[in-house]
Amino acid sequence: MQRVTQSPTDPALNQNPYPFYDRIRPLGLLVWWEDYNMPVAASQPAVSALLRDRRFGRENPTPPVIPDHQKPFYAIEAHSMLELEPPRHTRLRGLVLRAFTSRRIKALAPEIEALCHQLIDAFPDEPFDLLTGLAQQLPVIIIARLLGVPEDKAPDLLRWSNAMVRMYMAARTRADEEAAAQAAQDFSAYLAEYVKARRAAPADDLITQLIAAEEDGERLTTDELITTCILLLNAGHEATVHTLGNGVKTALQTGLRPDDSDLFAEEVLRFDPPLHMFTRYATDDMDAFGHHFKKGEQVGLLLGAANRDPEVYADPNRFDPARELVPHSSFGSGLHFCVGAPLARLELSIALKTLFDRCPDLALAEEPEYATSYHFHGLTRLMVTR
């Protein structure tokens, strides 16, 4: 196996990781990334196959000892369907999918469009940050409404979520870990009180549905209920914020506009996705792609690299909303395919169309910069003029 060295905290990588992917993709189906001390897959066929390979999972079969200062964070993660395998994953995912029906998601379209107009109406005349003006607010408000959490808690939800997701970044510090633990405690305490209130006064929302499922014998514990809500709030807005920001940036830099907003959104997801690495654990000793994995060893799936595989996508480094639709890896695949993908697609399509319909003269006010947050890929801010 070929070995490569590339610091994930290198600003150059975070600003533009695609040349690195182009360099390692021809080296083999698996390449050993020294800085992560594990093999990674960068081609679309290998990433797709690993996402579907049930010999690899999200649960670590040889879990490490958790330091005391991180325990509150991992107490939440212990009940997350994103980190679980069947049968617990099956039960939790099934309950969530009852609320994430295609009919219910499609019914949100007028509400999403109305909220976009409301946020655009509040844009100032001077240069402003589109991330805080639109991209951060839209998805967190929509997911809060879907769950039934009051919208006035959105600032707290954003703060808690931002702190917790830093645990997945290569550049995290001890301070980040402590902040994530505190956010997990605060988030959990709030939701515990809110679940108690919803039990007393049910409503037409996801939290009430999950409570009902718990009480109807689905054996969803209160801890699982709280963690599921946190996961949906975090995942339900974090990736969409980055995707919307990356998409508007790309549109402004290329001069292309969403004639077909659905196709445009799909190309944004392929071209510059918000999550660039997803990891799996070997569930047992095994051989895969010419490498012998020991039980508990990880493999990194480079989603951003797979999306630009020249063997699959013609001229992959060119943003082309009119290209032939070929499935991308931005939402994952297999057992852990993103349950919120239909909602994310709908939000992205409506937001892009509404934004450029309302602000046809939107332009960059300064050169955008990506955060040093690998394996996430999102902007620090997006300063624009209207």
* Average pLDDT of span 29-33: 98
**pTM listed for this prediction:** 0.94
User: What residues does 17 pair with on adjacent strands?
Assistant: none
Is 90 exceeded by the pLDDT of residue 104? no
What is the structure's pLDDT at 367? 97
Among 54-63, 198-207, 208-217, 259-268, the range scoring the smallest mean pLDDT is 208-217
What is the structure's pLDDT at 235? 81
Q: How many C-beta atoms surround the C-beta of residue 152 within 10 A?
A: 8
Q: What is the distance of C-alpha 2 from the center of its chain?
A: 29
224: left (phi over 0), alpha (psi -120 to 50) or beta: alpha
Is 90 exceeded by the pLDDT of residue 285? yes
Cα 91 from Cα 75, distance rounded (Å): 19
% of the chain with per-residue pLDDT over 70 = 98
φ, ψ of residue 343 to 5 degrees: the values are -70, -45
φ, ψ of residue 257 to 5 degrees: the values are -130, 155
**Ordered alpha helix ranges (H), 215-371:** 222-254, 261-271, 303-306, 341-358
Structure tokens at 333: 């695949």
Nearest to 75 by CA among 193, 216, 189, 166: 189
**What digits encode the pLDDT tens for the residues 60-86?**
999 889 999 999 999 999 999 999 999
% of the chain with per-residue pLDDT over 90 = 78
What is the structure's pLDDT at 217? 65
* Average pLDDT of span 248-272: 97
What is the structure's pLDDT at 316? 98
* Average pLDDT of span 167-180: 93
Q: How confident is the model at residue 216 (pLDDT cuts 50, 70, 90)?
A: low
What is the structure's pLDDT at 107? 92
Is 80 exceeded by the pLDDT of residue 248? yes
The more confidently predicted of residues 219 and 151 is 151
Is 60 exceeded by the pLDDT of residue 149? yes
What is the structure's pLDDT at 127? 98
Nearest to 222 by CA among 104, 75, 336: 75
What is the structure's pLDDT at 218? 66
Domains and CATH numbers, the chain: 3-385 (1.10.630.10)
Among 197-206, 239-248, 290-299, 367-376, the range scoring the smallest mean pLDDT is 197-206
Is 90 exceeded by the pLDDT of residue 220? no
DSSP helix/strand/coil, 33: strand
DSSP structural state of residue 167: G
Q: How many C-beta atoms surround the C-beta of residue 102 within 10 A?
A: 8
DSSP 198-233: HHHS--SSHHHHHHHHIIIII---HHHHHHHHHHHH
Which helix (H) or strand (E) covers residue 280, if one does?
Answer: strand 277-282
Q: How many C-beta atoms surround the C-beta of residue 168 within 10 A?
A: 17
Amino acid (one-letter) located at 69: H
Cα 47 from Cα 333, distance rounded (Å): 9
Q: What is the mean pLDDT of the chain?
A: 93
HSE at residue 381, side-chain half, CA atoms within 13 A, is 9
Q: How confident is the model at residue 219 (pLDDT cuts 50, 70, 90)?
A: low
User: What residues does 5 pair with on adjacent strands?
Assistant: none
Is 70 exceeded by the pLDDT of residue 268? yes
Q: How confident is the model at residue 345 (pLDDT cuts 50, 70, 90)?
A: very high
Is 90 exceeded by the pLDDT of residue 180? yes
Which helix (H) or strand (E) covers residue 381, if one does?
Answer: strand 379-381
* Average pLDDT of span 350-357: 98
